[in-house]
Each structure stands twice: as structure tokens, then as C-alpha cells.
A and B are shown apart, each in its own frame.
Chain A
Amino acid sequence: MIVSIIYLVLIVVSILLTVQSAHVLYLMLYTWDRADAERRARAPDEFLPPQISFSVLLPARHEEDVIQSTIERVVRANYPAELLEVFVICSQDDDGTIKKAEEKIDELKRKGLRNVRVVVFDDKPINKPHGLNTALPHTANQVVTIFDAEDDIHPEIFNLVNTVMVQEKVRVVQAGVQLMNYESNWYSTLNVLEYFFWFKSRLHYHAHYGSIPLGGNTVFFARELLLRLGGWDDRNLTEDADMGLRISAMGERVRVVYDDRYVTKEETPPTLGHFIRQRTRWSQGFMQTLKKGTWKKMPTRKQRWLAFYVLVFPRGQALLGIYLPISLGMILILKVPVLIALCSYLPVLLLAAHFLVQAVGLYEFTGAHGLEASPKAIVRMAIAWFPFQMVLAYAALRAMRREMLGRHDWEKTQHVGAHRATTEEAESRVG
């Protein structure tokens, strides 16, 4: 009796897992699979003259090392200075960053650029959404955008978004964000590829069906839209995803642009600890958003389902982390009938397909960014594959535990600028 229940569970879970990972695989390849999706994903080849004015929000916490160059990058973007204003957002206790930012502002003033300001907040909670909400009333331009302190933005990004917004009459644009340092450490390749598939392919699917968890930066909103929504949810750990779903629930169309040429470049978290903390935050944020129930307010069932599917994923991942070792153990220890064993071979097959797609994705990624993938990177990826999945599962479990304990504080990711080195190297190689 117990044995047959175990078998039944094995079969059901195997089939569910297979279906689920096949679907994820499909989402990963969505843009490549459809010529029209690929066409729509690309940036326009020619830009319209600057027309829209932008307010750039730069939330920063303990970013002394990188904040100056980030400010520099934003103001030096190829867009008229009178149509740009920049807000560096810091909490009051973060003297280092404030000091560095003000240094930079003074330097820019000497050069005649007066469109950068520092906004300081002193109330709790100290987190990104709260900072953004503090700065929002100060903004005056038509479109509000967010960049993270460590972002390497593309100089043409404003031209690009200006063109898209004017031509397509959209009020929300999510442009591509890409981790670059795929050779930094054992998990960075897989992490980079996650971003690659997420922004290049999957987000387009979500946008198409009107149920999209937005990214945390390089995202552009019409200011009045943000005001109407009342800003960000500052108790949510993934305020960006939450914002995306709220916007989707309003029926607002979100345009996703991922063009390899114009992505915002970022870096993977420097240590495993940081990586796990970042993942925990994301997973927990998704759990919060799920609980909050914005997704239930979406107009169509398809949208609700898609949002639910995204938000519930971390829980699934946690369960998967528990299930995988158990099922492996059972297959090895229990002598299951051949048919059931074959059935549990299905998810393994899909796992192999995922790996294959990621390996190919590495070549796509490096090809698109003028880098060169080596077979060594593939081997490293293969070795890191399983531990990486386990780390993700661990982070998901950790998030679950935190959520149950009611701990909602923000575990920040540290940035050291590893991607900048990669980029420069790449540029020199291309040039």
C-alpha cells in the first residue's frame, strides 16, 4: 500500500516536473522561437529626436566605490542635459556615499552640469522602495526611471526609450539588464545566463500576455502613472515585481526592449553569501507579492495564472530542492519497477535539455556581446550546474523560513564593479 502510494507520488511529481520544466524551457526560448517576437524585442534602428524628459532615480546604499562613475555615466548619456535630471537617493546614515555623490556633483557643476541632486531620507524602513518613494515627489520630468548604483547604462538608452515611447505610445518600458562577468566565479556563468534568458526572452512572453514582473532597474514609467499608483510598496522586498503586476492589473501595456547593443550592464553578486542573500530576498519578495494578492485583481484568467505561476515559483523551487535528493535516493535504494523508473527519467531528460539550452545560450550571449565562450566555460557550467540548483533551492527554503518567521528586512547585495572590467576588456577586444 505504502509502496504504491510512493510510486504514485513519484509518477505524478515526475510528470508535473516535466510539464513545468518544459514550459520554462519554452519561455526561455520564446523570443528565438518566434520571428515576430524577436522582431518586436529589438530596439528601433533609428532614433527620433529627443522629446521626452527623464528623471533618473539612483538609489544607493554604501556604494562609495561606484557611485561617482555611475553618476558620470548617466549625465554623460547621449541625451540633452536639459531633458535629464538625476536624483541620488541615500539614507541619512550613509555618509560615505553622500559625500562621494556630492563631490561628484560639485565637479559636474564646475563643468556646467547642474541637473544632479542628492535626496536623503531619514525615516524607516531603509530600503530601495522607500528611497524611491521619497524621491518621487521631487521629480518633475515626464518619465521616471531607475538605475542601480552599479549599473553600466548605455549612452543611447534615453534615445532608445524616447523613440519607443513616442513611436509606440507606451507609458512603461522595461529595457534589458544583463549581468556580464560570466567568468568571475563558479556560479556567475549560470547567473549571467539566467538574466540573459529572463530579459531576452521570458519577459517578452510576460509582456505579451500582460502579466509582467518588472525588473528593478532600467525601467521607465510615465511619472503620472507612478503617482496614480501611489509609488512603490515599501514593505515589499521585490517592489519591482510588485509594481509590474500592479501596472499589469491596470491593463497598462508594458513594452520590453532587449537589444544586445543597449543593455544595462551589471555584475553577479561577489560572493556566494551575497548571492544567497539576494536570492533569498527575491524569493521572499515573490512570496510576499503572492500573499498580497495583487495578481488576483488582474482582468483575465490567463494573466492571473501567469502571475501566480511566476510568484509561486520560489515555493516550487524550495519543494524541488527537497524532492530531488529524495527521489534520487529512492530510485537508487528502492528497486522501483522499470516503468516508474522510466517515468522519473523524464525530468532528468528535461534537465539535460535545460543544460543544453543554457550551453547554447552562453554562445548566444557571448556572441551578442563580442565575447568568446570557451569549452572550458561549458565544462565549468556543467560542474556548477547541480550545486547551483541546490543553492537556488536553499535560498528559496531560506526565504520560506524567513517569511514564516516574519522577517522582512532588506539584505543588500554588495557591488564591486567586476562587470566593468569585463566590459572594458570586451570593448577592447571588439575594437
Chain B
Amino acid sequence: MSDNNTPSRPAAVGAEGRKTAADKNPAPSKKTAPDKTTAPTKKTTPDKTTAPTKKTTPDKTTAPTKKTTPDKTTAPTKSTTPTKKIAANKSTTPGKKTAPNKNPAPAKGTAAAKGAEAPARRPRRRPRFSVERGWFPPLGTKGRIALVASLLTGLLTHGYHLFRYPLYLTDEGIYMQRAWSLVRETSLSPYTYDYDHAPLGWITLAGWVYPLPKQFETFGNAINTGRFLMLLVHIASVYLLFEIARRLSGSVLAATVTSFLFNVSPIAVYFQRQVLLDNLMMLWLLLSLFMLLRREVTIRSVFGGGLALGIALITKENAIFFVPSFMYLLYRRVKGSASSRFTSTLWPFAAAAPIGAYVTYAVLKNELLPSGFDFDLNNPPADHVSLLYTLWWQLNRNQGTLFSHTGLLQTSWLVRDKFLLIAGVCAMVICLWIGLRDRKRNLGFLIAGTLALGYAFYLVRGSVVLDFYVTPLIPMLALNLGMVTDRLLKGTFANRFMRGAHSVTRVAVPSFVAILLLASPASGYLVHTNTEGHTQIADQYQSKINLTAMQHAQIAWVRKHVPPNSRIIMDDDLWGELHDVRPFYPYAHSHWNASSDPDVRDKLFRKKWQYVDYIIMSNKMRRSMMLNNGDGRENWILQALRNSTRVWSETRGNIKLEIYRVR
């Protein structure tokens, strides 16, 4: 119903709004004052929820006292129509739904407002804006330029040097290994799939790789091929995030700042280049959010949004921490619409559908429940894996060291980008404050703030946090920063000179900060200070640094000197290279699987160091072997390491790659 009446609103609000603009002094929170609400409505009733008919009435009554002509001129035209018509049904029906039934007057009012719309529109009025109603200002030329610039920046920062930096990571290897298994073996994992993650992420990777001409080797190796998809995912995400920021804030500036940080922040570049489920999840999540921010909330868009959310959830489960904000946004957007009953039930349904498919998969494989309904964490069920047991186990993992000196925050995240994290969290607090102060008008801020807060809560709540878990927080912090930047630089000035100066400021200040970030070696955005104290191009764009080349050299040595039937312990990032490129190394397994998967551990290696031929190492792998050895599961591998000789090694900075031959 509300949709139908929207046209009547602008005229009414516009007329009132002008009056207040003259009355009030320019305040920092300017734009909203003239655009949306007026002094009286601000204080009194929630102006958005009131029926349009109500609103037009005051407008009409004030018209005579004010000197506004438009309302008056339309009065005759309006009155002519009703006189022709007979008073429609006044009683008879049980339908209590529509107001006109009971009282014909408001209907007349709407008609009047409709008529008044055209003359009441003033030329130099900033476009009205409301997240709730889907009144988003049009993109415009400036917006288009900013969007294209953002997309190109993203292409540059993420595409350049993509295959060389960062180092191939274990988890990238794991996901590509599982995609490999799907393509080559039609199975979710080459090992026993134990529901550690929902599988859609690597199903997507497999879907990407499958039609490519050389499949996994299209871009050199499996991880590169995955990384290229990440580049595409990033570009799509930039578009979505840009539009989301623009729609939540009503400002191209906010969107530009958001995209800039999302594109250029070193922590973003570092994690978003990697083949991570979080990046895929984020794309779906942003798509889902975008669907809720369409101009018109249709059942289809809401359903699509729910479906995208469900897909995000079975790509990576941590998407769940964004769900409360989504629910609130949906509630605000569909409230009072004719289809609200349908939208508010079909959205959760659509979101649940992909999860249902995942659960059904487990049920069909008889792997939903642990055997004997045994959820004893100290004594994992031996005969088959179980979705719910894994979930329970993950919920009970505790390793709350995020804030300690050795925690990830200090050792990894802040090192990579202090600015984004610290300023971003401050921006989140400001967004939450702005949003909570006036939930009606500042819905966008509330959504941005709670999105970041929800995920931050996940990170700090004290469960296991891995390095790359910060990834989904990056766009959210960027979003908060973008929105706060826009809000701080907002203002309306009656004076034309001031207005000009202000619009220069809005561009100049953020540009200055951006240049500062790019030029300062402390930020690491473009340049950094290396260990010798020289300022140079930051690692992610440094043409002299080729981290992954070390890994290529390692593989080359293996191919040259190690026979393919050797039993090898390695890290997952080499998996694709050794299993998908001839000659295959079918007995090369990662230490994770060698220490835990019964098939590999007990049948191939028999848990004895003598059965290992080679160990392909990195210092990172050594560290994770130690960490993974709480129950002594890696002892026999470490023993093999002690009984081996190093046959190859390469060191650069703090990265050290080695190959050992076991005696």
C-alpha cells in the first residue's frame, strides 16, 4: 500500500521542508533536515509510518497561512474531480482495510497532493533519501565515474602481482584440493569429508575450474587458478559494496571512500587475493544485502536476497553473524507494505533452503548425527563423521588469545593495516551511535554499524580465530569508515560561495587522507619501510619480490629429484601441483591428513617414521605441526624429521622453505 502512495509524499514534505530550512540554522547534520523531515515531524510522530493521507492533511491546512502558491493553484483542479463523482460506498462492506471506505476526505487529499506534486517540486533540491523507502539518489555522472574508478582500482590492486604475493597458504591449498577432488573424483574431498566447512565454496571453485581450457593449470597452478577467480569475485564485490554504501548513506562520497579502503588497504589486498571461502562468502553476502537495498522491495528480490544469504551460509558458516542486521533491515524495509507477510516469511525460507540441502546431504549419507548420539568431545565417534558432532565440536573450541601480545591482532592484523582496523572500529562505534540516536532516519548507519559489530563479536568472543578470519570484517569496516566520512563532511550552506567551498572540501579532505595513506611508509598502503630502513614499494606491489617463486623452485626440485612413488609429507598448498600435474605423486599428503585421517595415517604411513620418504617443509608448517601436536598425533612425523637430512632449502626474509629426505 505504501508503494502506491509514495508519489504524494514529496510534495508535502518538500513544502514543509523548505520552511524549516529557513527557520533553522545550518547544523552539521544538515542534509537530512531539509530533505526528509521538518522540525515538527521530528519531534512528534514517526513521520515515516504515518499514512500518507494523514500527512497531506496538515500540508493542506498550512497552505493558506503560508503564501505558497502551488498548493493553492492545484486546489481547484482537485476539487473538480470529486464533484463529478458520487460518494462511493460508505458502508456495506466488511472490508475494513482501506481508509477511503470510512472517510472519503483523505482520499481527496491524496488526489490533491498528487496534483500538487509537479508544481511543488523545486529545481535545486537535493534528491530525497530514505533507506527504508528505497529513495536512493540516482547514481549520476559523478557516481558513475567514481564507480568505474573504484572498479579499476580494484582490478589494479588485486590483479597486479596476484600470482606472486602473498605466499600460497595451506588453506588455499585445501580448498583447491577439494575442488580438485570434485572435478577429478566427484567427491567433496580426497580424504574423508568431515563437515569442517559447508562445501559450497569449493563446489564453486570446481565449477569455475571445470570449464577452463587447462582446468587447474590454466593460470599456472591450482592456487593461481583459484586466485584468478578471487580477482573476479573482488571486482563483483567492489560493485556491490559501492552500491551498498551509496544506498545506505545516500552519498557517492561514502561509496568511494568505502571502495577505496576495500581496494587498497594492505590487509584487504593480502587476504582478498587468497583463495578463501570468506571471499566467496562475502560476495554472496553483499549480493544478499544489495537485494534488500533495491529501490522497490519485491517478493522476488527479497527471495533472491534470502537465497543469496543461504548460499553465503553454506559457503562459510560465519556469515551467520551478519544475519541479525539483515533481519532488521528486511523488517524495516517491508514494514507496512502490501506484501510484507509474504516477504517476511519467504526470506527466511529462501535462506534456509540451501542449508536444508546441506543438511539433507548429511542425512542421505547418514552422517547427520554421530553414531549412538554420542556428543562426547573427548571421545570422538570412530565409525563415521557427523555434521552435528563437528558443529558441536567447533562451538566448543576455545582458544581466546586474540588480544594477547602473541595474539593475531598484534602479530598479524595490526601489522598489516593499523589504520583500517583502528579507525574502522571507531567509525563503527560512531555509526552505531548515530544509528541508535535516531533509528528512523539513520537506518543506514545502524545497519553498517551492526554488521561490523556482529562480526567483531564473533572474532572477540573467544573461540578459535585463524589469521584470515578477519577477512569479512574488512569490507564492513571500510563501509563504516565511508559512511562516517560522509557524515562528518556533510553540511548545507545558504551562501553560494560557502557551498562551493564545501563541495571542494568534501573532495579535498578524503583525497588528502588517501594521499597521506598512500605516501606514508607507516601505513604500508603503497610504500613501506623495509627491514633495512629503506622506503620502498610495499610487498604486495613490489616487482622485486616474488614469494611464490620460492614455492615454484621447491616443486621444481621435487620433480627433478624425487621419484613419483615416494611417500611424502607436505603442506596442502602443494597438493594441486603434485596431484594434478604429471607425473603424479599419489602418495604425497599433508601433515594434517597424515596425522589425523585413519586411511592415510594407518594404512599408508602406519604411523611410523620409517614409512616416510620425504618431507617438504616450510617454517610455517613446522610451527603448525607443533601447534597441532597437543595430543602427540604428529610425533611420528616429527620423529621422521629428526631422522632426516636436508636436501634443499631457500630463505627469504622470515620465510624458509626446505626439503628433507628421511633416512
Contact = CB atoms under 8 A, between A and B. Distances in A.
B457 interface: no
A64 interface: no
B300 A33 contact: yes
A259 B338 CA distance: 13
A426 interface: yes
Given A35-B338, A48-B85, A338-B361, A29 B299 contact: yes
Nearest to A29: B299
A35 B346 CA distance: 17
A260 B95 contact: yes
A363 B341 contact: yes
Given A45-B107, A260-B97, A261-B93, A345 B357 contact: yes
A350 to B, nearest CB: 9
A194 interface: no
B92 A156 contact: yes
Contacts of B88: 44-47, 156, 159
Contacts of B107: 45-46
A423 B93 CA distance: 10
Interface residues of B, number: 38
Given A29-B299, A356-B345, A38 B96 contact: no
A370 B98 CA distance: 12
A32 B299 contact: yes
Contacts, number: 111
A9 interface: no
Contacts of B299: 29, 32-33
A29 B86 CA distance: 33
A341 interface: yes
B84 interface: yes
A48 B84 contact: yes
Contacts of A427: 94
B4 interface: yes
Contact of B364 (A262, A341, A369): A341
Interface string B92-109: 111111101100100100
A360 interface: yes
B356 interface: yes
B296 interface: yes
Contact of B97 (A155, A261, A352): A261
A349 B364 CA distance: 16
B4 A48 contact: no
A370 B341 contact: no
A48 B86 contact: yes
Contacts of A78: 89, 92
Interface in B284-300: 296, 298-300
A430 interface: yes
B353 interface: yes
B92 A370 contact: no
B342 interface: yes
Given A368-B95, A427-B94, 8 more contacts: A32-B339, A45-B100, A46-B82, A46-B107, A49-B85, A156-B89, A262-B93, A363-B341
20 contacts: A29-B299, A29-B342, A33-B298, A39-B3, A48-B85, A49-B86, A78-B89, A78-B92, A260-B95, A261-B95, A261-B101, A338-B365, A342-B361, A349-B356, A352-B349, A356-B349, A357-B345, A423-B94, A430-B94, A430-B96
Interface of A: 26, 29, 32-35, 38-39, 44-49, 78, 154-156, 159, 259-262, 338, 341-342, 345, 349, 352-353, 356-357, 359-360, 363-364, 367-370, 423, 426-427, 430-431
Interface of B: 3-4, 82, 84-89, 92-98, 100-101, 104, 107, 296, 298-300, 338-339, 341-342, 345-346, 349, 353, 356-357, 360-361, 364-365
